[in-house]
Chains A and B, each alone.
Chain A
Amino acid sequence: MSILSVNLKHLYQRKACWLLGLFLGFFTFVILVAIIGTGKSRQGVLLAPALWMLYAGTFTAALSIDVLTKPFSYCLPGHQDVPRNFLSFIGLLLAFLWSLSFFFIPGLNFVETLPGALAAFSVFTISYWMGAWITFKFKNWPLIFAFPPLLIFGDRELNISGFIVRAIWESPLLIILAGILVNVSAWRYWSRSDLARKYCGKLWMGAFDPWNKEKTKKLVAEKEKKKPDLNRVLPGVESFFIAKISGTVSGSLRQYIWGCLYKSFGVGISQYRRDWLRFFLAVLLLLCYVGYLGAVGNVVFLVPVIIVANMNLNVYSNLLISGGRRERFWSALTLAFVITIFITCIVTAMAMLTMLLKPLLPELTLKDNSYVFNALNIKLFFIPLLMIPVVLVVRLIFHKKPMLAMFLSVMLFSFLFAFGIVRQSLFLSIDSTPFLAITLLCFNWGIFIAVLRYITMRCCLTE
């Protein structure tokens, strides 16, 4: 088997690609139905395949960079052009397939459709190359996933989709010319002789590398080298915790609980003390944004819960200090309680802040649409209390795959929302149906404690 075939086989057929394929496949189906079912006049539908192509471009480029960074891959003689050829082949093929869907639009004959399909092909390739370029150009390319809400907002205000549709049907030649220009530029950009050398052997966070613990550690270490203050514990914070650990009776439970809190919060407290103003401003900005989103803004109560899914309870550790299994159980349980109380306080404070902001923030009007600032529903403070034990159970079970734990937690929430369980149980909330709310709370925490106890007392405790 040639080196090229091995690279293609191992890297473009990664298991996570199937997940991505499933994700893109689902949207392909939805978009196809929309295009075929709605016809030429409908605006907005064409924006969907263009967006789809943008994401396909980012992922295909990310996979190519994954391969490029491996030593002895495309830096070998005769292999330098493979990324360009691979990107072009995938991009052109996908754009071609998407533009084919135009021929299924009811009520249009071949001659009417052809210029539109060619123009759409150009739009799709432009979108695809833009995605690929973003990935190659910016290290923080995953931020592109924050793009759709902005695009939807922009579409509502600026009618981007209407513009694209008009351009495709009314000025196809211009679009085709723009497409040719972009494709030629892209071909030249990815034909650069220094491309392989630039990436070969470099540490790079690949598309599916958040799963790779070793690589993540290396990347964090690299970042810390560049920014010495990053993740650094302040001397005062360290002294406080060390005094607490060594100040208690040796071998007592309190000693391990303090140790566990130090491991989990030492860096966080230090960073917060350094950057508290930036942190506060970021929260304020976020609250202003979500306040204008309406009821959807209440998702703020869920976000910290999902972040907790990535939190290490220090149950699994190879570093042997003198704490036994019992000490691991109690310190992990204390840590879980502290996190829950802390997050509940934070989200409650945020909700209260929005209540204070409500009379101060004006109603915004943009192109006939008015946006009113809404305070967060403070009754939802119950969400973290109820849901944190659930995500911690997922994290404990999938401790070796934190990203999978986070993904499962997000899936779980989506599922619960889909069936309205969380919304109902919490909008019903502590004041309207206290019995159900408290029963659910006890049930979730009971499950968490049982799982934690089983793992700490009966399972292997190494990383």
Chain B
Amino acid sequence: MINGDSIVKIRNVCKKFGKIQALDNIDLDIKRGEIIGLLGANGAGKSTLLRCIIGLYPADSGKCITFDTDALKLTPTELGRIGYVHQEGELLNWMTVKQLIRYVSAYYEKWNHELEEIYIKDFDISLKDRVGSLSPGQRQKVAILLAIGFDPELLILDEPASALDPVARSRFLDLLLQIIQDDNRTIIISSHILSDIEKVIDRALIMRQGSMLRDCGFDDLREEFTRFTLSSLNGYLPDELPFKNIVSCEKNNNQAVLTVQNAFPEKLEAEAKTLNCEIDIKPLSLDEIYRIVVS
């Protein structure tokens, strides 16, 4: 069973689709209040993992416990605490947006009508339109509203902004920043638009081919990799630079751009001084970190 504040506990979960290993021995604990970014290429297993958490997919082996319950046996009590936006955007096409909101809200004891009104206004949603006639972006906006309308404790967003235009994406991020003010709310966001989610996440999960490549705090991940420009103050740089754990290096005669792992800035500065070089350290974006990790 789950200890402490963990609301999701995954142990040795494997899932195969035919010959494809979608999840390979995944271990994961998700604590209350965390904002998690789930990163990975297409087919990395992100959506499968999210669907295992809410019990839509059964694991072939291992255990997936959500809100102290086996994910396959989640009841309305637990599922009523989970909001889910899926990337396919499946909704009930024959309903109007208003009818769909009424239909979904009818299942929940509490529905945040105030949030609904603000959201509809901010995102310019037409209630009269038939869901089937909405553009992919509009559908995604409606799907997000349905997932957050009952103030879920666990919000799972699977590619929530992929179909949104830049303005709607920016509004969505503002909304997300508002939502995460609630300390009790846990959010898992899977997205390809890393520049967006790096503003909100505090933990990063990086997946590749069904395996969890990295699971750490986002700040730790940022500190793990450092990129700096080394400029020689007199003459050429030495052939071999004395830095450890170099991930990448682009060098010409008197300047080099290096990316290193697990290095302290103070130490880098000290080493640059001994080489009689100027050092300019710049933080890496999540996108750059992701590329390094998966490569």
Q: Which residues of A contact B133 (CB under 8 A)?
A: 221, 224-225
In the complex, residue of chain B having the shortest beta-carbon distance to the beta carbon of A231: B94
B137 at the interface (CB under 8 A from A): no
**Cross-interface CB contact of A319 among B82, B92, B102, cutoff 8 Å:** B92
**Interface size for chain B: under 10, 10 to 19, 20 to 34, or 35 or more residues?**
35 or more
Would B93 and A217 count as touching, CB distance under 8 A? yes
Q: Which residues of B contact A246 (CB under 8 A)?
A: 106-107
**Are A463 and B88 CB-contacts (below 8 A) given A233-B94, A320-B54?**
yes
**Are A250 and B76 CB-contacts (below 8 A) given A238-B99, A322-B107?**
yes
**Distance (Å) between the CB of A233 and the closest chain B CB?**
7
Q: Which residues of A contact B228 (CB under 8 A)?
A: none
B246 at the interface (CB under 8 A from A): no
**Are A458 and B58 CB-contacts (below 8 A) given A217-B93, A233-B94, A250-B107?**
yes
Would B58 and A322 count as touching, CB distance under 8 A? no
Q: Which residues of A contact B86 (CB under 8 A)?
A: 318-320, 462
B74 at the interface (CB under 8 A from A): yes
Q: Which residues of A contact B106 (CB under 8 A)?
A: 242, 245-246, 259
Q: Which residues of A contact B80 (CB under 8 A)?
A: 250-251, 322
**Cross-interface CB contact of A459 among B58, B77, B132, cutoff 8 Å:** B58
Distance in angstroms between the alpha carbons of A275 and B228 in the assembled complex: 73
Q: Which residues of B contact A462 (CB under 8 A)?
A: 51, 56-57, 86, 88
B55 at the interface (CB under 8 A from A): yes
Would B132 and A221 count as touching, CB distance under 8 A? yes
B90 at the interface (CB under 8 A from A): yes
Distance in angstroms between the alpha carbons of A321 and B149 in the assembled complex: 12
Would A460 and B94 count as touching, CB distance under 8 A? no
Would A324 and B75 count as touching, CB distance under 8 A? yes
B91 at the interface (CB under 8 A from A): yes
**Are A259 and B103 CB-contacts (below 8 A) given A224-B132, A324-B73, A325-B55?**
yes
Would B108 and A322 count as touching, CB distance under 8 A? yes
Distance in angstroms between the alpha carbons of A398 and B106 in the assembled complex: 31
Which of A240-259 touch B at CB < 8 Å? 242, 245-246, 250-252, 255-256, 259
Q: Which residues of A contact B76 (CB under 8 A)?
A: 250-252, 255-256, 322-324, 327
**Distance (Å) between the CB of B13 and the closest chain A CB?**
14
**Are A324 and B79 CB-contacts (below 8 A) given A221-B93, A238-B99, A319-B92?**
yes
Q: Which residues of B contact A460 (CB under 8 A)?
A: 51, 56-58
Q: Which residues of B contact A255 (CB under 8 A)?
A: 76, 107
Which of B42-84 touch A at CB < 8 Å? 51, 54-58, 72-80, 82-84
Would B93 and A320 count as touching, CB distance under 8 A? no
Q: Which residues of A contact B88 (CB under 8 A)?
A: 318, 462-463
**Cross-interface CB contact of B55 among A250, A252, A266, A324, cutoff 8 Å:** A324
Can you name 19 extra interface pairs (CB under 8 A) apart from A255-B107, A259-B107, A320-B147?
A: A232-B94, A233-B99, A245-B107, A246-B106, A250-B80, A251-B75, A251-B76, A319-B91, A320-B86, A321-B107, A322-B80, A324-B75, A325-B72, A458-B72, A459-B58, A460-B51, A462-B86, A463-B88, A463-B90
5 contacts between A and B (CB under 8 A): A262-B103, A263-B92, A318-B86, A320-B54, A462-B86
